[in-house]
Structure 1
Amino acid sequence: MIADTGTRLTTPLDDLPGSVGATFGPSSWRTITQSDVDRYANLSEDRNPIHVDPVAAAATPFGGTIVHGYLTLGLVVPLMAEVFTVTGFGMGINYGLNKLRFPAPVPVGSRVRVTGVVHAVSEIDGGYQVEPTVTFEIEGGAKPACVAEMVLRYYR
């Protein structure tokens, strides 16, 4: 049985097939700071001035530093955990992405949150593959920051 408690979608592993079409979210808002961006730049070694040099970034059409797209995507784990839960499984993995787009830049200091919908669930050996689309909204933004067609696997 699927329990949809407003913004959180919770389902036991064996009930995943019944979750197709279910929505979840929005998550809480998450502010992405320049410190977050700088730490990510050091870890990823992506030190493009548009992300880490406020003076250079101010002279671009963005008017300031913007968040790395993959940093935004990386926030899917804590944000989605707030609004999507599968119970009764032994192991879960991120199997990949079918499609990924970054329609709008995220200015540093912005707040983002996620919403999602389960598009497909298929049985795999030992469990289920779930394909949700997750959309990152920028507070006050006209377009989403990121739209990811995810592929997740949950095993017994």
Structure 2
Amino acid sequence: MTTTISSPKDLLDLAGQDLGVSEWLEVPQRDIDTFAEATHDHQWIHTDVERAKTGPFGETIAHGYLTLSLLIPLWSEILEITELKMAVNYGLNKVRFPAPVPAGSSIRLAANVVSVEEVKGGGYQVTVAATVECNRSEKPVVIAEMVYRYYG
């Protein structure tokens, strides 16, 4: 479900609102391997399918930071601003990885707008409570606060 607003100023009306959830996004082994190449993090729990079968998770799992980076496409499904000059990922608060994401599973984002405030330069800073769910886990796989700045 996408919430569409016209301008960054309209974000003020979303403070305190639950914006719903994104669609499910698969996290295949090939994406995990590509992330390992890009970040030089080749730990066997992520990339060695055979060895991971005997490891603590029984299979390969996605890097926590890969899952975190997927907030970007998932968030873009939840909020659209039609008259936007620029959006900046300003940072994250309180990031935790309570459960792993097994290779081949799917994740989705649930988002709630915590706060919206005006910033210098005509922008608006939005803090979003983000919970990433996995179709193969009862626990969330990421809990974080995303902070974005939007300029119209």
TM category (shorter chain) comes to over 0.9
In angstroms, what is the RMSD of aligned CA positions? 1.2
Count of equivalent residues: 150
Q: Which moved more, 1:131-140 or 1:83-92?
A: 83-92
Structure 2 residue 113 is the aligned partner of structure 1 residue 82:
no
User: Does the 8 Å CA contact 1:99/1:150 hold for their aligned counterparts?
Assistant: no
Instruction: Report deviation, 1:92.
Output: 0.8
Instruction: Report the counterpart of residue 104 of structure 2 in structure 1.
Output: 109
Matched letter for residue 3 of structure 2: L
TM-score, reference length from structure 1: 0.91
User: Does the 8 Å CA contact 1:9/1:23 hold for their aligned counterparts?
Assistant: no
5+ residue gaps, structure 2: none
Instruction: Report the counterpart of residue 142 of structure 1 in structure 2.
Output: 138
User: Which runs of structure 2 are paired with 1:1-156 in the superposition (5 Å)?
Assistant: 7-11=1-5, 12-125=7-120, 126-156=122-152
| Matched residue SS, 1:99 | strand
Matched letter for residue 39 of structure 1: T
**For 1:94-123, what per-residue CA distance to the aligned partner results, in whole angstroms no more than 9, with x for missing partners?**
000112111100111111111100000011
Query: Matches of 2:79 and 2:141 in 1, distance apart?
Result: 20
User: Does the 8 Å CA contact 2:107/2:135 hold for their aligned counterparts?
Assistant: yes
Matched letter for residue 37 of structure 1: I
Matched letter for residue 65 of structure 1: T
Deviating above 3 A after TM superposition, structure 1's stretches of 4 or more consecutive aligned residues are none
Query: Matches of 2:27 and 2:35 in 1, distance apart?
Result: 11
| Matched residue SS, 1:141 | coil
5+ residue gaps, structure 1: 1-6
Instruction: Report deviation, 1:140.
Output: 3.8
Query: Matches of 1:103 and 1:113 in 2, distance apart?
Result: 15
User: Does the 8 Å CA contact 2:48/2:60 hold for their aligned counterparts?
Assistant: yes
Query: Matches of 1:140 and 1:40 in 2, distance apart?
Result: 21
Query: Matches of 2:125 and 2:151 in 1, distance apart?
Result: 9
User: Does the 8 Å CA contact 1:10/1:87 hold for their aligned counterparts?
Assistant: yes
TM-score, reference length from structure 2: 0.93
Matched letter for residue 16 of structure 2: G
